[in-house]
Structure 1
Amino acid sequence: MARQRISSGSSFEQLAGYSRAVVDGDWIFVSGTTGFDYKAGTIAADVVEQTHQCFRNIQWALEQAKSGLKDMVRIQIHLTDPADFTRIAPVIGQYCREARPANTTVVAQLIDPRMKIEIEVTARRDSSDPVDRPGGRK
């Protein structure tokens, strides 16, 4: 199966030569995604709104890969201010509760000072019906 590359049209992708997401078989790798609204070219000042926008951007990329947030297996969060964690944790829980992916959160400086959070996701599509899996119902 050929790799599928998904682009949001972000100028960052063009500048640095990367894809918003790459699909390799059933695996989907979503690049670090910030709170920019790519259509409007804006970013909110509030970390909570940036977190919601990150997940809207990630959800869009996963949908392009015929997947969704429920398929997340790993999430890595880069946060610029550790004090913001208590504000964003419930938002992350809202989007991750169904999938319950492995999670790592780190504090790091991001490229653009307007960015307060960046989220990277790995997801895996379930390509088999439970009935057809080894050991499944026949």
Structure 2
Amino acid sequence: MRQSAPIRAGLLTGLAGASAVLFGAFGAHALRGVLDADHRELWHVAVEYHFWHALALALAAGLGQGRARRWAVVAFAVGIVLFSGSLYALALGAPYWTGIITPFGGLSFIVGWIALGLALQRTPPR
């Protein structure tokens, strides 16, 4: 049986939020004393953007159907992977060139916010 798009978006939202908490806890506890101040700051920025965009993903997932809503869900999910993922990797010692990926994640976040705005504009009040 095929799941509907809102259920998949809801699952994606749950995974994004849970992983933000897990990565935050991992950074606060397991990486304490392992990373220098600059790398801890990178980790913190990654977690912060990850969590805020998991919340944005939750909002988009709750909007029902529509092309703009689908774009928002996908863009936020891709942004979390590219932006936060590249910062996590850099914090853990990935090569400097890994940072080339980060702006693409930021661009994806921007697309997500624009799409979310369009989806909200088209969603009738309840």
TM-score, scaled to structure 1: 0.26
Which structure's residues are more often helix, by fraction? Answer: 2
Which structure's residues are more often strand, by fraction? Answer: 1
